[in-house]
Amino acid sequence: MSNFLKEFREFAMRGNVVDMAVGIIIGAAFGRIVAALVDEVVMPPIGWVLGGVDFSDLFVDLSGASYPSLAAAREAGAPVIGYGAFINTMLHFIIVAFAVFLLIKWINRLKTAAMARSEAAEEAPATPPRQEVLLEEIRDLLKQRRS
């Protein structure tokens, strides 16, 4: 049993697992930020422009009865298709996908710039040490005196 726990601890403390855990935690927090952005910032103006429509409350009742809201239909146990929630979820996805696109584009730009700098550093001729420069100057002066 202790060997099993030791293996699990080694697995859990590996760099990749810890990095993945941090990514999942940040991703969950980012998901909540996007949800708040869509629900509280993006959807209200869109609903207002479309005549006061609340997308989260849009639904189709499959039972044929009439309910004032999605919550009332669900409370009554009516079969419903909540397409408004689907619209909100799609907007969440589009915003997250766009944010990830921008992040990857930024990372690629940084990588390209770093590669260009390293290539320029390799191509640039190295300046000789000061001692060599001084020795070359002395050599040149000695040649001039001889001539």
Rounded mean pLDDT, 114-121 = 78
DSSP code per residue over the chain: -HHHHHHHHHHHTSHHHHHHHHHHHHHHHHHHHHHHIIIIIIHHHHHHHTTS--GGG--EESSS---SSHHHHHHTT--EE-HHHHHHHHHHHHHHHHHHHHHHHHHHHHHHHHHHHHHHHHHSPPPPPHHHHHHHHHHHHHHHHH-
Q: Which residues, at least 6 apart from 34, have a Cβ–Cβ distance to it below 8 Å?
A: 92, 95, 96, 99
Rounded mean pLDDT, 9-36 = 81
Domains of the chain are 2-146 (1.10.1200.120)
- Per-residue pLDDT tens digits for 25-74: 988 888 888 888 888 888 788 878 878 777 788 899 998 888 988 889 99
pTM of the complete model beyond 0.85? no
Residue 104: predicted pLDDT: 85
